[in-house]
Structure formats: C-alpha cells, structure tokens
A and B are shown apart, each in its own frame.
Chain A
Amino acid sequence: MTIGDWLSEAANWLFLFLAVPTLVASVMVVSSRNVVRAVLYLVIALAGSAALFLMLGAEFVGWTIVLVYIGAVIILFLIGIMITRAPLTKSVDLSHPISARAPAALLSVLLFGLVGWAVVVSFGSETIPLPDEATRTGEIGVSIFTTWVIPFEVVSFVLLAALIGGIVLARRDEAPAEQQR
C-alpha cells in the first residue's frame, strides 16, 4: 500500500486530524517549561485519544476518558502543582539537564524503532474494519458482569484501598501525647 492509496481514504484524514494534535500535545507535556501548561497540554492529548476512541466506535471508553481523566485527574494534577508550590512561570529545572536528556531521548527513539519495526513486519498492511455502529454500552455491561466480574470486583477493591491509602497518607498526623513531652 502506497502513501497515495493511504491518503485517498477519508478515514485516514480524520485519523491524521486527530492523531497529530494528540502526539504534538504529548510531546509538549514532556517538554514544556511551564508546569501548568504541561498539565493543560495533557488535556489536549487525552481529549485527542478520546476522540480517536469515538472514531473506533468505543463510545463508552471515550466518554469515560472525558469524565475520569479530563474531569477528575487533571484537577488532581493542578491541585498537586498548587500544593507543591511549583513555579508557575517558565522554569528550566522542571527537567534534567541536557546531558541526562540525551540518553533518554535515544532510548525512546530506539524503543519506538523496535516496536515500529516489529509491528510493520508482523502486520504489514492489514486493514482494520471501521465499525458500522458504536459499541452498545449495555453489551459492555453484560460482558463486564459475566466474563469479567471477578477482575471488576478486584478493581473496585483496589479503588477502595487507594481511597483509604490516600486519606491515610495525606492526613496530618497528630503526635501522641507522650511523644510531645
């Protein structure tokens, strides 16, 4: 399949329209020198991935990304920035110096090259059928509560443990009366 064939398909233009901003926003998250902007670029990256999920017909996953990530997790990040009193203006020491960044960049490029090579060799030009209609949330629910019910319970237990752990960690401990003396 040539590039021309690939570009003649309308769905691929939609893919590029969504994937390029997602990727650029991801790069800005890891390279921006302003800590608040880095987190706000994460909103764009996650919104782009949610739109890509809608394109694949995974409506429930896409809207869950919007609700959980963009709604809650980003707020948590901004609160974390506020509490740790990170510099809100441009700052050079958000990242390691260039001597430490270069090997990391090399490792990332190598990883991408390795995965990309393996994927192209094994999948070639196999096509992915665009679904005619979005996945029904009810069908996902049936699958969760039949096939996946035990993993679902385990995840809910992990969430409970995280809730308790978050409260215990963030609580300011009152020292016992004997130790204060």
Chain B
Amino acid sequence: MTIVQWILLGAAMFSVGLYGVLTRRNAVLVLASVEIMLAAVNINLVAFDTYLADPEFTGQILALFVIALAAAEVGIGIAIILMIFRNRHSADVDELNLMKY
C-alpha cells in the first residue's frame, strides 16, 4: 500500500464535501457536507499516524478530538438551524439575508 492512495482518498472526499457546502441550499445538508469534509480529515490523520508509526499515536488522538468537536458542532448547528426555522419558517441558506445590507 502506498501513502498516496490514502491521501488521494482524503483529498477526494474533502473536495466532494466542499462542493456540497457550496451548492446545498438546505442548511441541514450543508452540515452533512461539513461532516464529509471532517471524515476526510480523519482519514488523513489516521493514515499518517500509521505511516509514521508514531509511538504517541498523535494522529489517532487528533482524529478523536476532531470527532468530539464535530459532535459539538452538529449539536450547535442543528440548534441554530432550529432557531432560524422558528423565526424565518425556512431552512434555506440563501434566504438568510438579514445581514446583507
């Protein structure tokens, strides 16, 4: 196995997630695309951890931190979307233009 195949998989998933963040209108699906990007980052971290055979397992521990922060991010994100839906009756990100002008 080469290290390149793992990084390319991570880069491909990150690009797909970026495309989703830029193109999705529904705010819940924007968050789902962010999760794809975070999963890609985790793949990179763990692959490099195995590649370097780190005795401290730095890559795996950073991946665990990313998982914990992603869980917090989704919780807050859904709560914010819930608030926006309550006030604007829509969860589409392109209708959130209150701060535009």
* Residues in A lying within 8 Å of B, measured CB to CB: 1, 6, 9, 11-12, 15, 19, 22-23, 26-27, 29-30, 35, 38-39, 42, 45-46, 49, 52-53, 56-58, 60-61, 64-65, 68-69, 72-73, 76-77, 79-81, 83-86, 93-96, 100-101, 104-105, 107-109, 111-112, 115-116, 119-120, 123-131, 135, 139-140, 143-144, 147-148, 151-152, 155, 158-159, 161-163, 165-166, 169-170, 172
Contacts and interface: CB of A to CB of B under 8 A. Distances in A.
B14 to A, nearest CB: 7
B2 to A, nearest CB: 5
10 contacts: A15-B5, A29-B16, A30-B16, A52-B46, A53-B63, A57-B50, A68-B71, A109-B15, A120-B4, A162-B75
Contacts of B81: 80, 84
A58 B49 contact: yes
A101 B23 contact: yes
Interface string B1-12: 111111111011
Given A80-B81, A128-B3, 7 more contacts: A23-B16, A35-B28, A53-B43, A80-B31, A81-B28, A135-B57, A143-B58
Contacts, number: 251
Given A26-B36, A69-B35, A159 B74 contact: no
B23 A104 contact: yes
Given A123-B3, A127-B1, A130-B1, A84 B91 contact: yes
B29 A53 contact: no
Interface of B: 1-9, 11-20, 22-29, 31-33, 35-36, 39, 42-43, 46-47, 49-51, 53, 56-58, 60-61, 63-65, 67-76, 78-83, 85-86, 91-92, 94
A26 B16 contact: yes
A30 B2 contact: no
A72 B71 contact: yes
